[in-house]
Amino acid sequence: MKELDSDLNNKIFNRWFIVIGAIMIQVALGAIYAWSAFTTPLQGTIEIPSEFAFLKTQTQAIFSAGLATFAIFTIIGGRLQKKYGPKKIALLGGILLGLGYIIAGFVGANFILKLIGIGIIGGAGIGLAYVVPIGVGIKWFPDKKGLVSGLAVAGFGFGAFIWILLARPPSLLGFQGLITVQNGVYTIANIDSAFRLYGLIFFFLVLLGAIVMRNPPEGWKPKNWNPSKEESDNSKKKKSTSLLPKEMLRTKQFYLIWAMFLIGALAGLMVIGNIQNFAKNPIEGFMGYGFSQSEAFDFAVIGAAVCLPIFNGLGRIIWGQASDKIGRKKAIITMCLFQGIMMSIFFFTTSNPIIFYVAAALIGFNFGGNFALFPSATADSFGAENVGLNYGYVFTAYGIGGVIGPILAGAVQDAGFSFLYAFIPSAIMCFIAALLAVFYQRDI
């Protein structure tokens, strides 16, 4: 009877609902990439002070705490969804994410409680929910692993676009965002109300997406899909040798994938977390080239709210699809080389807004590719059966990169040094990652 129910559900259920639910969840989780919209209001400027008066390093510490907690809880989320099912864990993640932002919206200028609410509680919620659509999606789409990995997390990048524009749109777009200047000051009441509203929205989006999160019946495969002989042989091999984390951690392939992901995450997150600070820096940014404060703000927000997030989302889809066609190894090598080039020149792009937009967009595009290529590489190398669990361990690379990259760039600026001292070392590391990818092998 149970088998008949599964067959009936399988006939009724369209697997593309998984993708729709995944995008809804990831749009909410993309809140973490919208953090740059809050950095200036929390820090203040010479022209517009803030009642918070946080240091740049403090705002980056909240961002980095969120990234680190996010990474740690992907492991926990992978374990819990295997035990309790994907729907319950996605919902738990949405509750924590929403709760974290709501808490942060009631604590005023208390830096520690802001860090706990958004960085720790919110980051934990993101980590729990994040692995659900990836693990579920790869199981429903064995024929399109790269593409569906990209689609499943594309909402993460597009979500940042939505939340940044909703919070602080450029004046040239003609509408007012949630965060406004009141009597010449960024006020606690105004910014905290934005945090509370975001918390409610994030919870309801994840709730809606979680409804369709479920694994396919055992042995299920897409209709009319017949894997090639190579894929079939590889699938049989992985079914018999699908690794658990303790076994995966003994392989060289894991550390190779982990190191490449670390570098890719560090470079991208350094720019995402600091793009507005960089663009508005009086020495290195637009303000140094005769632009007014409002013009510099518009240029910086367009770079942060449009170029980076949108191309971040597109990169997840396009790199994922490309890897299905040219192979994971070639895609990773190309992506790392491309990112190394872009990080090398990004420092010199603020003399021209168009060049700055293009560079920011391409950095976001390459950064997004990490989240399509490395889940697929994890499934390729260690088996799809435990990908939700195994990818949590791979994802710890993202957490460490998220601590090092943004805080390094923030500390460089607080110390009065040039952003060049952050960008160039990151570029060199990207070239090293491309070299490491040469030694990557799909099969263990």
In a domain, 89, yes or no: yes
Domain ranges, residue 264: 16-219+237-437
User: Does 231 map to a domain?
Assistant: no
Residue-level pLDDT at 372: 87
Distance CA 286, CA 274 (A): 14
Mean pLDDT of 200-206: 97
What length is written for the chain? 444
Does residue 1 lie within any of the structural domains? no
- Domain assignment present for residue 202? The answer is yes
Residue 4 lies in a domain: no
Any domain includes 8: no
Is the residue at 343 inside a domain? Answer: yes
> What CA–CA distance (Å, rounded) separates 68 from 64?
6
We report the CATH number of the domain holding residue 110 as 1.20.1250.20
- Between 5-19, 24-38, 235-249, the lowest mean confidence (pLDDT) is in 5-19
Task: Name the nearest CA neighbour of 356 among 340, 369, 345.
Answer: 345
**CA-CA distance, 291 to 343, in Å (whole number)?**
24
Strand partners, 182: 185
Strand partners, 185: 182
Give mean pLDDT, residues 258-281: 81
pLDDT in tens, 346-366: 888 877 778 888 888 899 899
Domain count of the fold of the chain: 1
384-421 residue pLDDT tens: 888 888 998 998 998 888 888 888 887 887 787 788 88
pLDDT digits (tens, 9 = 90+) for 144-195: 878 887 887 788 878 888 898 899 876 666 678 999 999 999 999 999 999 9
pTM of the model: 0.77
Indicate the pLDDT class of residue 1, thresholds 50, 70 and 90: very low
Integer Cα distance of 218 and 221 in angstroms: 9
Q: Given pLDDT bands bounded at 50, 70 and 90, which one contains residue 120?
A: very high
The pLDDT value given to residue 331: 96
What is residue 287's predicted lDDT score, i.e. its pLDDT?
60
Name 272's Cβ contacts closer than 8 Å, sequence gap at least 6: 33, 36, 304, 308, 364, 367, 406
* pLDDT tops 90 at residue 106: yes
Measured between alpha carbons, how far is 374 from 323 in angstroms, rounded to an integer?
10
Rg of the chain, C-alpha, whole Å: 21
Q: What pLDDT is stored for residue 304 in this prediction?
A: 59
H-helix or E-strand containing 320?
helix 308-326
Tell me, yes or no, whether 225 lies in a domain. no
Name the DSSP class of 108. Answer: T
Sequence-distant (6+) residues with CB within 8 A of 135 are: 78, 81, 86, 387, 388, 389, 391
